Amino acid sequence: MEDIRVQVHTCFHCGNTGLLKYIGKTVWKNEVLDRDEEGNLFTVLPLEDKIWHIFECPVCNSPVIISEYIEYIQYSECEYRPAYPMRTTEYPTIAISADGVPEEIYSAFESAVKTRGIDHAICLLSLRRVLEMICKDKGETKGKLAEKVNALVDKKILPPMIGDACWIIREMGNAGAHADNINVYASDIEQVIAFVSAIIDYLYSLPHRVEKMKKRIEKREVD
Ligand SMILES: [Zn+2]
């Protein structure tokens, strides 16, 4: 993989995409160790590494943490090589993975999250729009947002508890739209982002992950 320090990253506090200032890293290693004749530890076999890289966004001065995960697989009898590198934005998290999520819903959610540090009203409105898109994707196009969500609860596509979370997202979105005289707190925004990501996870990511793991286990049983 290319050197992470000179690559372009997105700051999900403010939406800035560009070079972020590199601050440093912490490293965790899982390895099989042994001691030589003098009693010093040495690595017999590397198993996996995780590195957390800390950056500072030059636009909003907030910290961004990106992790790199590497697994070592056996290449020849006595040689192990790194494989399956994975990069994850750990903080601020956008809370969902793109796997299994319809592209336009994922990108609308991602854009909404990017505005959380810039404009609370726009962020709430955009999150409400994501909810509208989810209803449409699940076949509900008629009536107000509340009616569409209720229809999804009636059809048991959404559990009733998530129907309540939708009520909050709708109300907060309306407050954003009408610039009501209510104070919107950053912690409110974080909660609404968490609710929308829970809905996306429940409807799209979770079934996708369950299906994938099921296939993996079935394959193991056959092997
Ligand atoms: Zn930023």
Express each pLDDT in 56-87 by its tens digit: 999 989 999 999 988 888 777 777 888 777 88
- CA atoms within 13 A of residue 23's CA, in its CB half-sphere: 14
Do both 58 and 84 map to the same domain?
A: yes
Do both 132 and 196 map to the same domain?
A: yes
Express each pLDDT in 43-53 by its tens digit: 888 888 999 99
Q: How far is the CA of 56 from the centre of ligand 1 (A)?
A: 8
Q: What is the model's pLDDT at position 95?
A: 62
Is the pLDDT assigned to residue 178 strictly greater than 80? Answer: no
Q: What is the model's pLDDT at position 63?
A: 95
Q: How far is the CA of 194 from the centre of ligand 1 (A)?
A: 20
Coil, strand or helix at 102 = coil
60-64, 97-101, 152-156, 218-222, range with the lowest pLDDT: 218-222
Pick the last residue of a domain from 91, 124, 145.
91
Please give the average per-residue pLDDT across 30-50, as a whole number.
89
Cα–Cα dist 178/174, whole Å: 6
Residue 181's pLDDT band (cuts 50, 70, 90): low
Q: How far is the CA of 95 from the centre of ligand 1 (A)?
A: 17
* Position 222 in a domain: no
Higher per-residue pLDDT: 77 or 206: 206
Do both 68 and 122 map to the same domain?
A: no
Cα–Cα dist 222/175, whole Å: 55
Q: How far is the CA of 14 from the centre of ligand 1 (A)?
A: 4
Please give the average per-residue pLDDT across 27-53, as a whole number.
90
* Position 220 in a domain: no
Q: How far is the CA of 199 from the centre of ligand 1 (A)?
A: 26
* Position 189 in a domain: yes
Residue 182's pLDDT band (cuts 50, 70, 90): low
Pick the last residue of a domain from 91, 121, 147.
91
Q: How far is the CA of 116 from the centre of ligand 1 (A)?
A: 10
Helices (H) and strands (E) in the chain, counts: 6, 6
Ramachandran sector of residue 15 (left: φ over 0; alpha: ψ -120 to 50; beta: rest): left
- Which residues are CB-neighbours of 63 under 8 A, at least 6 positions away? 23, 54, 55, 56, 57, 91
Higher per-residue pLDDT: 80 or 102: 102
Residue-range definition of the domain harbouring residue 26? 4-91
* Position 96 in a domain: no
Q: How far is the CA of 60 from the centre of ligand 1 (A)?
A: 4
State the Cα angle at 121 between 173 and 148, rounded to 5°: 15
Do both 203 and 117 map to the same domain?
A: yes
Please give the average per-residue pLDDT across 167-186, as a whole number.
78
Do both 174 and 206 map to the same domain?
A: yes
* Position 97 in a domain: no
Q: What is the model's pLDDT at position 179?
A: 65
Residue 222's pLDDT band (cuts 50, 70, 90): low
Is the pLDDT assigned to residue 219 strictly greater than 90? Answer: no
Q: What is the pTM of this model?
A: 0.65
Task: Return the CATH number at 131.
Answer: 1.20.120
Q: How far is the CA of 129 from the centre of ligand 1 (A)?
A: 23
Q: DSSP character for 223? A: -
- Is residue 66 within 8 A of residue 90, CB to CB? The reply is yes
Q: How many domains does the chain have?
A: 2
Nearest of 138, 191, 184, 142 to residue 167 by alpha carbon:
191
Q: How far is the CA of 55 from the centre of ligand 1 (A)?
A: 10
Q: What is the DSSP string of 151-192?
A: HHHHTTSS-HHHHHHHHHHHHHHHHHHHT-S-PPPHHHHHHH
Is the pLDDT assigned to residue 104 strictly greater than 90? Answer: yes
